[in-house]
Chain A
Amino acid sequence: MKQMANSAILIYGMGGLGIEIAKNIALAGVKNLTIQDCKLAEIQDLGTQFFLREEDVGKNRAEASSSRLAELNPYVSLSALKTGLDCDSDLSYLARYQCVILTEAPLKVQICVNNFCRQQTPQIKFISADVFGVCCGAFCDFGDNFEITDLDGEEPKEIFIEKISKGKPGVVSCFKNKMHGFDTGDHVTFREIYGMTALNGWTCQIKVLSPYMFEICDTTGEEFAPYKHGGIARQVKVSQNASFKSLEQEILNPSLLIPDLCRFEAPANIHLGFLALHRFNEKFKRFPKAWCVDDSSNLVSLAKGLNTELTNKVTTIDEDLLNVLSYTNTGCLSPLCAALGGFVAQEGIKAVTGKFTPLKQWLYLDCRDVINKEEATTPDMFTPRLVKQQLGYPQNKTKLSCVYPL
């Protein structure tokens, strides 16, 4: 992993999700990891941001967590930036990073940064990710021409050769009828062949005939002496280029990953829900309140409006999902941060190493299963109350009690 040890990654937003991503990337090891955040730690951050403690409340989140993060891996040089990011920010400092990961950033800022990343040469790999209540999502843009050097990280397969026919095309049979495990289109190279020595060191694309045989190039030519014995065919990893679209393009025409076929439309609905949340925030300068019916119906109508703008419209809008998203969006569920934090860190590592096929381009996950249906359908019972002492923090942290009912 040489590329990893030479790369620099920036993570913006040191909330519950940001710290998970940072932890994973620090453990994996990069040369330089920068965490950036302008927000001050609040008591509710402690619920998911595990490197913040009670005494850090009121301090800058990036600064407060940097020493604990740095302890994870002495080989990573870690720096913390206290500046915020908005569309007027001078983004030129981003040019020193190979990969920029945004969390908790408004959609407009995500677009500005994404556009900046695309304008650099080489293009900076861009990821944005957020957790809103029971839903979370990430977007990847690794540029117009991203080279994947190793599609699957599997060891190249190798087989012994029994026979190679002279033909157009020539056919290779495997030794002792072992299965070769190759796929049509794979590239294969040869060595240690006796007889048809012209093939040694040669690489060609193959066509699979059976689990034990595959076609190679034309072997009728004079340079191909008859096969005698021996020889090994080895799969060659061929790098591939992947082309990503910008965030602006992808918002209205998203390439969605579908993690659960039973809920085929869920990712499209969450995508719409996230866009609506951002729109809500732009309109009201705040996010929908927890378990607030008015806000949630506002969100649903925003979503319906947004759906008409999409290139691929969502056919069935899942209002239940949108409601749950609205009720819970201000909360943050630690396991969801952990799950998405794992995926995003992995994508970040893919971005700087070119190993493994990256996600194209949106990944949405939800865990509304953890909400009881009756809880979701009767929000009246969630009138805000004073925080009880079980929370583990004193009652005078009243901010909590308004936002988070218990």
Chain B
Amino acid sequence: MAASLGVLGEPTSKNVLSCKLLVVGAGGIGCELLKNLVLTGFHDIVVIDLDTIDVSNLNRQFLFRKEHVGKSKAQVAKESALNFNPNAKITAYHDSIMSPDYGVDFFKKFTMVMNALDNRAARNHVNRMCLAADIPLIESGTAGYLGQVTVIKKGLTECYECQPKPPQKSFPGCTIRNTPSEPIHCVVWAKHLFNQLFGEEDPDQDVSPDTEDPELTAEAGQTALEQKEQSNVAGGIERKSTRTWAMETGYDAKKIFNKLFRDDIKYLLSMETLWKKRRPPNPLDFDNLPHTECSEPSTVMRDQRVWSMKECAQVFSDCLAGLKKEFANQGENGMLVWDKDDELAMDFVASTSNIRSHIFGINQKTKFDIKSMAGNIIPAIATTNAIIAAVIVMEGLKVLNGRIEECKQIYLNRQPNPRKKLLVPCALDKPSPKCYVCSSKPEVTVVLNTEKMTIKTLEDKILKSALGMVAPDVEIDDGKGTILISSEEGEMEENNDKFLSEFHVGNGSILKCDDFLQSYELKIIIAHKDKLEEDKEFDVVGDLSELHAKPLVEQPTNQNGGTTSHQEEEDDLMIVDEVEVIKSGTKRKADQEPDEINAKRPKSSGDHNDDIVIL
């Protein structure tokens, strides 16, 4: 406040004092951002965050203390920030920004919106809300030592969704615990299991079935819940932690195996709603393992072939015994730290993730592949958050001064390279005329099999998950205006299990989608294809012409073009916390094609392309 006003001069200071700000997210970046804003003199701030404070947040989210664990992040952040300036007016909402309570009118109240988010869905949503309300948005993200800040203004700059992004690499807890569908889900689960048994116990890393899965509405899962209550009441025992239980068994491989891979899976199966649209898992019994073939002859190295179930179970038993010893050597309060270069720890994760994959009918992976997946989980770094939050405020001050065109997209690099670059400012790009969000007539092509795609899958996986809508209405552009999906509850549910083809939706059909909350209308052009490669259910293709340029039988996902695919291989980076580098896939992987790397590099204003990003 005072000190910075001396720097800023009168007009800017006035703008700062009168400006109304919305800060979305009160996590790693959000805490730093709130502090900077309050100290810079911003007086009128609304902060919103859905989360409560977790022990694992305390090592970087410095507005929180141990006694705050379990409380609303937004509320505690507000109280702590008020200590820095008791006269600031901060309003905290412990709520999801995607709730219908925060419509376009809500957004219109603000001078500017600042994102400090941790997930793609909310970023997409806020992007659309700010476009609809025509409010400037400052978007940010960090991943380990990398970070990025960019400014989004309708009609002036690229929006958050103008460029296709690599698939999101962070997963909701219920996917990990209840409904894994990709190998990485099982790898994450296996690492959590390791920590639950031997490492730092983190309540966020629970490995048991999650009965609070949002998919389990009032009735669904009721049986499961009741069973659980009964067993608890009957036994008169409180729920034990996985570790306590495992220790009591003496890390008995058979007992642990049967709990994790038989009983817990049976329990999951009892949550029937989960499996209506999914392949249900198959529980395994330690004494009755299936004969699965080895993928490669045994001359191939152990790390490089997929193990059979029996091998997995054997490795699992051996690792448990070995880790038990190591764990005991750590003494009373000791624990093991998972390290991918530790053979036992790595074998443990490789075997357990493959057993789980087998149970859920997911492709198994070699230890080598699992190692690269498991090793790429990037921790959040406090200093990166601090720097990025500072850059957000500086860009915000430029926006306030009405000089949005001078704003930059700024990349923070790990360290200076020989070219001595650390914070790299790049000019903001113009909006993409083909963007399916911010162009004047947004449209997108979706490749799918109309005979196998149900209305429900269209709504959940395509419209909501891939295209970021919250409450879509959909009608077919067939002259009759046949309604497929309604955002009103209870209106069109009877359509849910029907296939698109039953409504005569075929190749070239057009669906008109409208999300009232986001004030967003989108035309979807259906491209029918009998079979997509890699068993994908669908492909979202940014631009129709690109699709026409190539025959449909060819792979329609194109890394350097305007396409996004839903289930790409999960290879390069896995994201935890508020970690998402927005557009720059700055983490290079040896096996990426060179053009893919180029595509993910941010564009620069002045000098082109030569090692600007990779420091």
Contact = CB atoms under 8 A, between A and B. Distances in A.
B406 A43 contact: no
A342 B5 contact: no
B5 A261 contact: no
B444 to A, nearest CB: 32
Contact of B423 (A259, A357, A387): A259
B2 A342 contact: no
A66 interface: no
A342 B9 contact: no
A169 interface: no
Nearest to A231: B301
A50 B4 CA distance: 13
Interface stretch (A31-39, A119-127, A153-161, A303-311): A153-161
Nearest to A356: B415
A346 to B, nearest CB: 5
B393 A392 contact: no
A206 interface: no
A391 to B, nearest CB: 5
B422 A392 contact: no
A150 to B, nearest CB: 11
Nearest to B592: A179
B6 interface: yes
B420 A258 contact: yes
Interface in B375-430: 375-376, 382-387, 389-391, 393-394, 397-398, 401, 403, 406, 414-416, 420-425
B383 A346 contact: yes
B6 A331 contact: yes
Main secondary structure of the interface of A (DSSP, over half): mixed
Interface string A61-85: 0000000000111000000000000
A259 B36 CA distance: 22
Interface stretch (A218-226, A275-283, A333-341): A333-341
Nearest to A385: B10
A71 B68 CA distance: 13
Nearest to B605: A262
A345 interface: yes
Contacts of B423: 259-260, 365
Contacts of B145: 153, 356
Interface stretch (A16-24, A106-114, A312-320): A16-24
Among A47, A50, A370, A381, the one with the most B-chain Cβ atoms within 10 Å of its Cβ is A370
Among B2, B85, B403, the one with the most A-chain Cβ atoms within 10 Å of its Cβ is B2
Contacts of B390: 335-339, 342
B414 A152 contact: yes
A382 B13 CA distance: 12
A54 to B, nearest CB: 8
A375 B11 CA distance: 8
B324 interface: no
Contacts of B251: none
Given A262-B605, A342-B383, A356-B414, A43 B7 contact: no
25 contacts: A24-B383, A24-B386, A47-B3, A47-B5, A53-B83, A152-B415, A153-B145, A155-B376, A158-B368, A159-B590, A160-B301, A259-B421, A332-B7, A337-B390, A338-B390, A339-B391, A342-B384, A343-B383, A345-B382, A346-B383, A359-B416, A367-B397, A370-B12, A391-B1, A400-B2
Given A230-B301, A392-B87, 4 more contacts: A43-B2, A50-B83, A257-B420, A391-B1
Interface of B: 1-13, 17, 32, 35-36, 39-40, 43, 59-60, 62, 65, 83-88, 145, 299, 301, 303-304, 368, 375-376, 382-387, 389-391, 393-394, 397-398, 401, 403, 406, 414-416, 420-425, 588-592, 594, 605-607
